[in-house]
Amino acid sequence: MPRLEAGMTLVELMISITIGLFIIGAALMVFQSTSGIGRQISEVAQLRQQGATAFRVIAKQVSEAGSVEPDYNDENNNFRFADKFTWTGSSAIANWTPPTGTDFLSISQQVQTSSDYQALLRNCLGQTVKKSGSDDTTRSSFYIKPVSGKSYGELMCETGANDGGQPIISNVAAFKVRYRVRPSATNITAKQFVDNPTSWGLVDAVEVCLDLVGDRNTPTDDSTYTDCDGDSTVSRGNRLHVVQRSLFTVYSAQR
C-alpha cells in the first residue's frame, strides 16, 4: 500500500508564519535604522558644506580688509600694503549689534580708480566694486536674518548699496564673532581674543563660529551639544546641530 505523508498541523503552520513575521520585522527595523543613519549623515554633510561656503566668502573679505594696494618698495620683497589709504571715517574691521540681536561683522576695503585693481576686488556678493565719488571704500557686512516660523535664520551679506542684502546660507542658529587683537601697534606677540575691541586698528584676525541646524527630526531630543559660547549643556531639541569655527587673518595688519 502507498505510504501516506502527513502535512503540517495548524499549530506548526502558525509557528512558521510567526517566525517569518519576526524575521521580516527585524529586517524592516534594520532597514529603517540604516536609512535614518544615512539621512543624518547626508544632513551633516550638507550643513558642513554650507559652513564651508560661508567661511570661503568671509575669509576672502577679511583677508582683503583695508588696503589692497601692494607696497612694491619693501626692501625685503615682502608682500605688504601701502599706508596711503584713508579710511573716510570708518574702520577696516568693525562690529555692530543689529536689531536682530545677533553678531554683526562689517569689513571695509579700499577701492582703486585703476581698472586693473577693480577687476581683482569683489564684495561678499561676488560683485566687482568701483569707486563712487569721493568714497574710496566698499563694505561687506554679515549678520543673521530670522526666518519666520523657524528656529534659525539666514546668514546675510549686505554691501551698503541699498540692496537689502542677500542670503549666503540658511539654517544658521547662531553667528558668533570674536577678534584677535594686539596690545599695541608694536607688540605683535601678546595677543588676545575679545568680543568688542576698544581699538579696531589693532585687530589682526577674526574668529567666526557658525551653529548650523538641520531640518529633519531626530530621536535624540534629550541629548546636548557644545554651542559657539562653549556651553556644553545646550539641548539639541529634535534637530541636528553642526558647530564650525574658523580663524581668518587680516593680511593688512601683518606689518
**What is the percent of the chain where pLDDT is above 90?**
13
**Is position 17 within any domain?**
no
Give me the pLDDT at residue 82, please.
47
**Is position 83 within any domain?**
yes
* 138, pLDDT greater than 80: no
Give strand pairing partners of 211. 174, 243
Give me the pLDDT at residue 229, please.
86
> How far, in Å, CA of 160 to CA of 141, rounded?
8
pLDDT tens digits for range 207-245: 999 999 988 877 766 788 888 888 878 887 788 889 999
Grid cell for residue 51: 559652513
Q: For residue 218, count CB atoms less than 10 angstroms from its CB and return exposed for 0-12, middle for 13-18, buried for 19 or more.
A: middle
Give me the pLDDT at residue 243, please.
93
Q: For residue 103, count CB atoms less than 10 angstroms from its CB and return exposed for 0-12, middle for 13-18, buried for 19 or more.
A: buried
32 versus 6: the higher-pLDDT residue is: 32
Grid cell for residue 195: 568680543
pLDDT tens digits for range 11-41: 777 777 888 888 887 777 766 666 556 667 7
**Is position 22 within any domain?**
no
**Is position 21 within any domain?**
no
Q: What is the pTM of this model?
A: 0.71
* Domain coverage including residue 123: 36-253
**Is position 212 within any domain?**
yes
User: How many folded domains does the chain comprise?
Assistant: 1
**Is position 100 within any domain?**
yes
**Is position 14 within any domain?**
no
> How far, in Å, CA of 208 to CA of 218, rounded?
27
Contacts of 92 (CB under 8 A, 6+ apart): 65, 66, 107, 108, 109, 200, 250, 252
Helix (H, G, I), strand (E, B) or coil at 165: coil
Q: How many residues does the chain have?
A: 255
DSSP for residue 70: B
